[in-house]
Chain A
Amino acid sequence: MKRILLLLTVLLFASVDAGAVGGGVVIDGSTTVGPIAKSFAAYFKNRYGVGVTVSESGSGNGVKSLINGTCDIAAMSRAMKSREISAAATKGVNPIAHTIALDGIAIVVHPSNPVASLTRAQIAAIYEGRITSWAGVGGPNVRIVLVQRESNSGTQGSFGELVMGKGVRITRSAETHASNGAVKNRVSSTPGAIGFLGLGFVDGSVKVLAVNGVRPSLPAIRNGSYPVSRPLYMYTNGQPAGLVKQFIDFAGTAEGMRIVGELGFIAQ
């Protein structure tokens, strides 16, 4: 017993040095960028044998991790707020944005919903709580179940900015879900529901609405005619170097762009 303990202790201490050498890339942040980060990580693991870890805790937490120096890359589905940039500056962190893909925020409803298109103003009115029934937008007389994301979410931030406009609050009756997947689950199982998702998360279980008559498609997002789209970012502290730089640059290579495309996002 004593010998085993001794061996364990030796092992533990011997490994301290080894641990300091083997450093991979640590990514934290947006659940929307999650699939891209995870797929890039898998590619790097296969190709270079480099360990990349990905946590999906939301854009807001990604920034916090970057500011606290606990991650190399903050994946974000919105731009950093000025408040966050100044918080970073006080800690000596210089966040630099790298755009890795474009993403449309798809407005989704249950597939049984006959409504096919809404204007931006109608969506805002629904989320403000001024329209509470689908009858108000030419649909059946069914109560609208509002689904939104948590305040930590970059998708929520972008939605607020692009659809609701400045200073307009989403009504308190909206349900809050913690990830794109959870929103999709809720909308696909609730006939009266409306929600919003990163384009990469859309599948046959939900129906995508056209906004101002434009459906979120690759050309519509590229040329900006789909109104609810935003870039996806990876933030680094200062200009990236070494592995982190290689990782960020990968988004611009042909292979990286193909991965982004296959995941349902739009490569730059």
Chain B
Amino acid sequence: MNLGTRKILDNSFTAVGMGSIVVMALALLAVLTPIVYNGVGAVFFTGTIEHRTILYKEYGRGDAKTIETQTATAERYRGEAYRMLSDFEAEMEGMPFEASSRYRSQYAQVRAAMSSLLGPLPGDPTPMLTRFQYGQTRWEKAEEKLHEILYEKKWDYSDPTVMAKAFYVPRAEAFAGTMLAPLFGYLDRHLADMMQPEFTVYWGFFTDRSLDAHIFGGIWPEIQGTFFLAIGAMLFAFPLGVIAAVYFTEYAKEGFFTSILRSANSTLAGVPSIVFGLFGLAFFINTMKVSESKSVLAGSLTLAIMILPTIIRAAEEAILSVPKTYKEASLGLGSTKWNTIATVILPAALPGIITGGIISLGRAAGETAPIIFTAAVSVGSAIGIADVFSSPTPALSWNIYNLASEHEMACEIRHVQYGMVLSLVSIVLLLNLSAILLRAKISQKLKG
């Protein structure tokens, strides 16, 4: 091969290498940007007076004075709108039946949208469900609701042989000439006065319990459950994994049995996580009866089995990478085998072992399938350390799925779901980051 071709090949290899790094960086950016952008919206947003009222009433936070004055202002503007409603109701009473029935169903829609915007209207009984006791807590949602009040979405079904197209009709037209007509312009002009929007930083999102199935409040039970499960899994898997790795590298004789064990371990590392989940249900809960129902304990054990192969492999590699001379020197000084392992080999291998452990910790925190049947519930309060043996727990990974698909008001609370995603990704990133830092610190210490 002449020099020219070699140079071209060399350059093109460099270009491909650089290219793939750029593609990887872009992909990471494409994944992380929407997560961060949307997730941050759960904490930083324009909150309405309803948000502050909830915080004050349900969590006892916030300045009573400010909330009181703001509520008073908001109520003054709302009162005007409520007056228009009751005026119109009185007007409808006086109409002949055919005339009033023309308005009735339309008016019911307006009322429903109004109470979803502002909370229960005067005269309505206080709803049992917290979700209906307050109006919209977020400004962008309030604007959506306003649009719903101002315009009716209609579908043109006149031709049954084509799919209909949506169009919006201002509701003001339908009520033209009645006492309700001025309401729409009034709401449009005074939405901000009625809702008192303010830029809000809601750190409580991470530390509050959730209210009414995540419709209000924070995600603390999920965050805590995630930590319990991941740390519990580590408590079981880490010691076991390190012991197994020591056995493989120092004690096991190379032979048929060991190679079978080794390949079994590799196979286990490739088993889909849902299989571990079902195994956990069948073995830990139904057979071993470690707990009466799903529990953090059962979930941790299941996750532990799932991450065990990774920990064993990482620890094995780390132990093998300890220079042979260390061991020989220690044995040569008259140390026993066990003493050598405990005082020379394991400390030298520690950075590698810990890295493997923490990366597995990240995986345990993020897995959904193993905990569906063994530990996760869609609603439950934060549990104490005392309950881990008997209680199931909500956890970030499972609740993200639950909010995305099963929740009855999924579209209304997308911000909570994004907030959970961001929290989970941050937890995993933090764990990985701490692995890198810890490793660096220990390596430095070992070098002296």
Query: Are these two chains actual partners, yes or no?
Result: yes
User: With A35-B408, A179-B406 known to touch, is A140 a contact of B160 (CB < 8 Å)?
Assistant: yes
Per a CB cutoff under 8 Å, which of A20, A55, A255 touches B294? A55
The interface-forming segment of A37-45, A167-175, A212-220, A225-233 is A37-45
B153-169 interface with A by 8 A CB criterion = 153, 155, 157, 159-166
Residues of B close to A61: CB separation below 8 A: 373
| Bound Cα distance from A69 to B289, whole angstroms | 10
Interface centre among B132, B159, B411 (most CB of A within 10 A): B411
Number of interface residues of A (CB under 8 A): 67
User: With A11-B385, A114-B163 known to touch, is A179 a contact of B405 (CB < 8 Å)?
Assistant: yes
A87 contacts B by Cβ under 8 Å: no
| Bound Cα distance from A13 to B286, whole angstroms | 24
Residues of A close to B384: CB separation below 8 A: 15, 18
Residue of A nearest to B387 (CB): A19
A104-160 interface with B by 8 A CB criterion = 110-116, 135, 138-142
Contact between B379 and A54, CB atoms less than 8 A apart: yes
| Bound Cα distance from A185 to B163, whole angstroms | 19
Residues of A close to B406: CB separation below 8 A: 31, 34, 56, 178-182
Contact between A53 and B391, CB atoms less than 8 A apart: yes
Residues of B close to A19: CB separation below 8 A: 386-391
Residue of B nearest to A256 (CB): B128
Interface centre among A24, A142, A255 (most CB of B within 10 A): A24
Is the contact region of chain B dominated by helix, strand, or loop, or is it mixed?
A: loop
B137-179 interface with A by 8 A CB criterion = 153, 155, 157, 159-166
User: With A35-B408, A258-B128 known to touch, is A22 a contact of B387 (CB < 8 Å)?
Assistant: yes
Contact between B157 and A205, CB atoms less than 8 A apart: no
Q: Taking the nearest CB of chain B, how far is it from the CB of A243, in angstroms?
A: 14
Contact between A178 and B405, CB atoms less than 8 A apart: yes
Contact between A38 and B159, CB atoms less than 8 A apart: no
| Bound Cα distance from A178 to B407, whole angstroms | 12
Interface centre among A57, A180, A181, A263 (most CB of B within 10 A): A181
Residues of A close to B166: CB separation below 8 A: 111-112
Interface residues of B (CB under 8 A from A): 127-130, 132, 153, 155, 157, 159-166, 211-213, 285-286, 292-294, 372-373, 376-381, 383-392, 402, 405-408, 410-411
6 contacts between A and B (CB under 8 A): A42-B130, A42-B212, A55-B378, A116-B157, A139-B160, A177-B405
